Amino acid sequence: ILYHDPSGDQLFNWWVSDHENNQPAGMNPILVLDVWEHAYMVDHGAGGRADYVDAFLANVNWEIVEDRFTRSSEGQAILRF
């Protein structure tokens, strides 16, 4: 997960195990990429992680990512899309 730390106005990547555990408090998620096998096996096969990541990045709506970062930087709520 790419998080924004509003108190330090910094972006950082953070590994979240089991989806709901180990998330840092007070940080805003800006971009989330799930790379567990269940996320890509149906479409890309067991060895398809790299193809999945390429497809994910090719389909990111960067305007929404930018909006999340801007809102977080301004202390506004992050909208979930």
CA separation (Å) from 37 to 1, 45, 60? 16, 9, 20
Length of the chain counted residue by residue: 81
pLDDT at 62: 96
User: pLDDT tens for residues 4-33?
Assistant: 999 899 999 998 877 677 788 889 999 999
Neighbouring C-beta atoms of residue 30, cutoff 10 Å = 20
Exposure string for 1-20, b = 16+ CB within 10 A, e = fewer: bbbbebeeeeeeeeeeeeee
Average pLDDT for the chain:
87
pTM attached to this predicted model: 0.80
Please check whether residue 27 is in contact with residue 4, taking contact to mean a CB–CB distance below 8 angstroms.
yes
